[in-house]
A and B are shown apart, each in its own frame.
Chain A
């Protein structure tokens, strides 16, 4: 009898286990995908724990493409903007537009895991086109990483930041906004600093003669 009861207990435990597993699979349900692209973890109405209500609703249209990199030196891909600022507990309605003929993504990292599995919102377009998704941000002051996670896309410029309540600092290597941690080395334009030589000559001659004049004046005064 006792053994069979133990077996029952195991059954109950395994059923609970399976239920938990099913909950984990909600992440599957939070995804929509077709031949044009996919949206993962969009959130239209689930409030973060620390937000009693939505503070503001912001419509952001974000373009991605090679042509937005032309305003930066030494980049290949970029978003049309590199920084967005919203209030704590804001809801942002994103229109993501891909202007290239290749795949691009818009990923926001560091979101609360209980609302966004793996802490991210993931928008992806398989080619030219657009898609829409909303996200509700928590109240905390934070700078979120926004980038495209295709190989070398963020590295070559497709990187930005989303600041909530002013954010908590800048992320590195955002085009024209923050310096990279590991920098490129360029050649120095020596012609551009040539005039420095003339300046040195001029300053030294001036110093010499003014010094001489002052010294002679000193001698004269002490006679």
Chain B
């Protein structure tokens, strides 16, 4: 048994050594007519075949169709090899010489191919494809005898496909490697997707092609022994939390013929759906959204800069994770300088552990004052999945010396910290918690109270009017009315006028100053005013039997006294 294992290892080593890259460039004719077409076939074989082959330079030839691509994976006697073929259909431009230049791929090169182009068409017309026998001439001639069961060998072959995630639970933004494995007990001639895989809810990156082992590796699946080959690897980053499912992918697998009577054929094998549980990220202010492990650094392109010139500050984040998601740098605020929006640069590569490399942002800083300008540390926060928490990586503080101009003592306030903080270097915290328990009436209560006050005022006015307390009915008269009444009464005593005029003025002055007297009012004031008014009316309506001037003066004096006393 040990000898057998040793022999197998030697065989594998030998086959691996043979697995080298071969590049061929072939045409189906070296002499053609100007009306003919020429087929160019470029073939790459070996385990390190590149994905893309640049077209060769053409002289006197045009590409009229192609390139047509095909790839094959062959596993023969436990050895795996890949071939990649490109086909072009070319047509000459004119009679004469034509040339297909060297094809270069994978570090190898083919020789140029010379073509002779003659007038007209010299190649036979391609016959119409038809099957005169009604069957494939290279098919199984004994199919009619043994029936179609002979074709079903491929359907019973033990060939399986599996999509295997590197882990089934992770956080949003963490990387996951999804490997598609081919498990086979037979030689496989060709393998391709029938249905392209869908990765809803994931950011997908292609991993660099792994160096394939030509003979695969032994593996057991559902109790059966296979040789296993990695076919495809994808790096997936979940973009949302929850349970995400990668649906089944269907592969079409070509089975190689093993003999003259074996038709070979192709089979279809699906993978099983893969379910991934994705946990959400914690939320925190300033969190960049980066997941992985990173280190932030900052540097200036110069330490000293003349006033009026600019310096460049480079903020760089380096590490492994979902660095492609980080699309902006932390805000840079520099006291005494104007900072312009940054330009970003990336140097990233995809690995199994995520996207590695660095991203950097370059800020142009233009000092506005001279002196030493302090640039505060810049923080880059990311989620460290290993630690399960958000971690902040801070850069070192930087100092930019600005020469020339005026001193920077009057520089504007640093935007991040308050004036007190910049002066002392410490945060200006307040130490006593003042409880603001002062009561304030709400808008509704205030409106209600104002309305209530207005109602009460109106009520007081109404009450006074009802009880005869208005100014016109015995209440206090405005001082302006009193003064006017006294002036009228002085005029009555001073100026010559008829007794009717004088009496009318006195009555008017009394009415303006003390108002009307109600009949029910029996106060001293009412009685005095009523008596005075009786005398005034007597003088006014009495017949003119003599001189009333003294009487009028006496009434004016008594009225003035009443006004002063009762108004």
The answer on A and B forming one complex is no
B residues whose Cβ falls under 8 Å from a Cβ of A: none
A residues whose Cβ falls under 8 Å from a Cβ of B: none
